[in-house]
Chains A and B, each alone.
Chain A
């Protein structure tokens, strides 16, 4: 199983209520061009996906762990909380 498929299967176990818009944005999308983009690997929900020349952010899958805020080497992640009541809702946690 590819790693993308592996994480997608895991993400199916979690209940989400997607926010209207993304709670994650990039301060400067161009900065990702010159970065090694460790976010593609360290994000536990594979929210960050590199498509040719730009970053796609699958915010609907975000587990709200906040690691990308701390770990983005170029400090490029602008992260707020999803609107109250939206985002993940663990059944067990």
Chain B
């Protein structure tokens, strides 16, 4: 392998890397796509929702072919606010989500090899079971000229290195970009639980290929800042919970114990009981949003996907942003090469393109949210406030002879007290609004 030269080396064959490799190889560039796993996706985990939009932007209608490895079409999406033994829920089901699908549930160890296969078919050279351990640089200019891999004589040279090696990107740190801080990442643990298809369809009120997603928060995170999810697959359920790593340090709890206690919540237990764990997994998610996104291009390199922190944690979007960013990186590199100018200034067009795109707009919109969550704290928001909302709902729906005016006042009082009085409630409402509206 030593001394070989390519137009581009792509590090990581996940959605970002595969999208970049596909885009460049389709335009005739010589591309090598590295993956440290046994196969693409072997090291990857996500909650389980894959959106059609980014896939279609990348490969057009090729997703319609029968081999697309997805589970169910997401036709219903629910949010659950959980008290210790109760739930306040909001949900939306729409037949229009079915055709064409807006989103599917999926598994990364099955989807990633499929997408990487598209890049290979377009002409990218896959080199798997190979880890890029360092960047090669021109000693005179410092320009990145390739990567060093963990094989004998493992130097790969390229005009541009596409760094798409995920949330634990060691290569981005070689560029001098600081590693994540505990308040910028969450740790998610997940179990895939096997349950017969009929039971899934009965319990979730599904027909055929329809699927449901439930995002839940409240009592299940035990006072930590965290969000859980339960998604339906064909014959399994994906159950997981993510908590901010700095919260995990403040109030230590073993993630697998947290996940076990989530299963015991009466509202979730109803849906899960009898299901058998077939896979356990863990992964970090970059949740720093806009302020944590570093410079995305430089002399001989671009940064994509999770390695760049391109995750919209509010709207559960990561893999699709990874694909979009990989595609944009690929397009900019193709254009730069056509123009015969692969300078850092030229590659910075990728940085600008990402920031102007839906990725940048959405991450910018939620830029205040990480600090807001930090300021209010998981205990107050997820434990006390969500608990109070459940108590308020109970009071509101309970018929016990109390006049409605009095019952409603009592219900309201639960929430106002949890938010720290009227002044606290106003401040929280304002903060929350700014957090999600940008």
Q: Is A84 an interface residue (CB 8 A)?
A: yes
Contact of A70 among B45, B107, B182 (CB under 8 A): B182
> Is the Cβ of B254 less than 8 Å from the Cβ of A67?
no
Contact among A17, A46, A66, A92 with B168 in the assembled complex (CB-CB below 8 Å): A66
Q: Are B109 and A93 in contact (CB under 8 A)?
A: yes
Given A10-B277, A84-B130, residue A93 in contact with residue B41 (CB < 8 A): yes
Residues of chain A within 8 A (CB-CB) of B44 are 90, 93
Residues of A within 8 A of B130 (CB): 84-85
Which residues of chain B have C-beta atoms less than 8 A from A41's C-beta?
252-254
Q: Which residue of A lies closest to B39 (CB)?
A: A89
CB proximity of B376 to chain A, nearest CB, Å: 22
Residue of A nearest to B43 (CB): A64
Give A89 to B128 CA distance when docked, in angstroms: 13
- Of B20-28, B255-263, B325-333, the segment with at least 4 beta carbons within 8 Å of chain A is B255-263
* Chain B neighbourhood of A11, CB < 8 A: 280
Question: How many positions in chain B have a CB within 8 Å of any CB in the partner chain?
Answer: 54
| A80 is an interface residue with CB less than 8 A from chain B | yes
The answer to whether A13 touches B38 (Cβ under 8 A) is no
A30 CB-CB contact with B under 8 Å: no
**Which A residues are CB-close (under 8 A) to B46?**
93
Bitwise, B89-113 to A at CB < 8 A (1) or not (0) is 0000000000000000001111010
How many Å lie between the Cα of A14 and that of B150 in the bound state? 24
Interface of A is mostly: loop
B29: min CB distance to chain A, Å: 24
How far does the alpha carbon of A90 sit from the alpha carbon of B112 in the complex, in Å? 12
Residues 67-93 of A contacting B (Cβ, < 8 Å): 67, 69-71, 73, 80-85, 87-93
- Complex CA–CA separation, A11 to B150 (angstroms): 27
Does residue A7 face the partner (Cβ distance < 8 Å to B)?
yes
Task: Give every chain A residue within 8 A of B249 (Cβ-Cβ).
Answer: 38, 42, 71, 73
Beta-carbon contact of A13 and B180 below 8 Å: no
* Residue in contact with B36 in the complex, picked from A7, A63, A81, CB distance below 8 Å: A81
B256 A63 Cβ-Cβ under 8 A: no
- Interface residue ranges of B278-302 to A (CB < 8 Å): 278-284
- Count CB-based A-B contacts (< 8 Å): 145
Docked-complex contact A3 and B254, CB < 8 angstroms: yes
Which residue on chain A has the smallest CB distance to residue B185? A70
Cα A15 to Cα B109 with chains together (Å): 12
| Inter-chain contact B167/A14, CB cutoff 8 Å | no
Chain A residues within 8 Å of chain B by Cβ, number: 37
Q: Mark A20-39, 1 if CB is under 8 A from B, else 0.
A: 00000000000000000010
Q: Smallest distance from the beta carbon of B399 to chain A beta carbons, Å?
A: 42
Q: Which residues of B contact A44 (CB under 8 A)?
A: 187, 189, 254-256, 282
The residues of A that contact B36 with a CB separation of less than 8 Å are: 81-82, 84-85
Question: Contacts A44-B189, A66-B167, A69-B179 hold; do A88 and B280 have CB atoms under 8 A apart?
Answer: no
B232 CB within 8 Å of chain A: no
B181-204 to A contact mask, C-beta < 8 Å, 1/0: 110010101011000000000000
Closest to A1 in B: B260
Interfacial residues of chain B within 36-80, with CB under 8 A of chain A in the complex: 36-39, 41-46
CA–CA, A82 and B37, complex, Å: 9
- CB-CB under 8 A from A71, the residues of chain B are 182, 245, 248-249
Residue of B nearest to A23 (CB): B131
Given known pairs A7-B254, A42-B248, A69-B179, the reply for A90 and B131 (CB within 8 Å) is no
Q: How far is the CA of A6 from the CA of B257 in the complex (A)?
A: 8
Note all chain A residues with C-beta closer than 8 A to B131.
81-84
In the complex, the answer to whether B185 meets A45 with C-beta atoms within 8 Å is: no
Task: Report the separation of the CA atoms of residues A4 and B96 in the bound assembly, to the nearest whole angstrom.
Answer: 46
Taking CB atoms, residues of chain A closer than 8 Å to B181 are: 70
Give bound CA distance, A90 to B39, whole Å: 10
Chain B residues, CB < 8 A from A65:
168, 187, 282-284
Chain A minimum-CB-distance residue to B168: A66
Alpha-carbon gap, A13 to B45, bound state (A)? 14
For A67, give its contact among B110, B192, B284 (CB under 8 Å).
B284
Contact A3 B257 (CB under 8 A): yes
User: Are B191 and A10 in contact, with the CB atoms below 8 A?
Assistant: yes
In the complex the two chains form, is A90's CB within 8 Å of B41's CB?
yes
Tell yes or no: B1 within 8 A of A by CB: no
Contacts of B43 in A (CB 8 A): 64, 87-90, 93
Q: Which of B99-152 contact A (CB under 8 A)?
A: 107-110, 112, 128-131, 133, 149-151
A71→B179 CA distance, assembly (Å): 11
Q: Is B373 close to A, CB under 8 A?
A: no
Residues of B within 8 A of A80 (CB): 133, 170
User: Across the interface, do A91 and B279 meet the contact criterion of CB distance under 8 Å?
Assistant: yes
CB neighbours of A64 from chain B (8 A): 43, 168
16 contacts between A and B (CB under 8 A): A13-B279, A42-B245, A42-B252, A44-B187, A63-B282, A65-B282, A66-B284, A81-B36, A81-B133, A81-B168, A84-B151, A87-B37, A90-B43, A90-B279, A92-B107, A93-B279
